[in-house]
């Protein structure tokens, strides 16, 4: 079982001011995983195709999207990456997104703990806003750790 803090690291979190399209946001968000050879280019195209086909179902809560595709679509290793935007990108006309968290799962189970951790981090709108407000990757990592510690202590 992988914890969220094992998957989201300095190497997989990025900050950007602005991207013009949600497709560009997904490509940028997934780029660390591509560079680390955890996913193939095909995985990125599968995520984009899936949203084009089914609509912005990846927007799981206001301001947050978790694009993903099937393990068979080019996942080499369980991985997750996060892109935080200063300006929202629209996933559909009424779905402004600031946080894009790419999930690359190798099977149906190994990512579940990390996803459960992520759910704890994203359950409060104030927690989402505080992550969006971060100007540095280290600050995002600290916030995520803090929200998880708070939950475990809770």
pLDDT per residue as tens digits for the range 97-147: 999 999 999 998 989 999 999 999 999 999 999 999 999 999 999 999 999
Q: Give catalytic residue positions.
A: 68
- Nearest in space to 21 (alpha carbons), one of 84, 97, 102: 97
CATH superfamily to which 4-153 belongs: Mannitol-specific EII; Chain A (3.40.930.10)
pLDDT of residue 150: 82
Residue 101 bridge partners (DSSP)? 82
Mean pLDDT, rounded, of the chain: 95
**pTM of the predicted protein model:** 0.95
- Short-list 87, 93, 12, 78, CA closest to 43: 78
């Amino acid at each position: 079982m992988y914890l969220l803090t094992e998957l989201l690291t300095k190497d997989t979190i990025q900050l950007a001011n602005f991207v013009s399209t949600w497709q560009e946001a997904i490509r940028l968000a997934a780029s660390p995983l591509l560079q680390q050879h955890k996913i193939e280019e095909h995985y990125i195209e599968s995520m984009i195709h899936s949203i084009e086909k089914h609509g912005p179902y990846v927007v799981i809560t206001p301001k947050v999207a978790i694009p993903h595709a099937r393990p068979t679509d080019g996942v080499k290793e369980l991985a997750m990456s996060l892109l935080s935007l200063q300006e929202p990108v629209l996933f559909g006309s009424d779905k402004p997104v600031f946080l894009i968290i790419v999930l690359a799962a190798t099977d149906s189970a190994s990512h579940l703990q990390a996803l459960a951790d992520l759910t704890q981090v994203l359950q409060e709108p104030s927690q989402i806003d505080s992550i969006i407000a971060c100007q540095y990757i280290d600050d995002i990592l600290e916030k995520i750790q803090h929200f998880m510690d708070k939950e475990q202590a809770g």
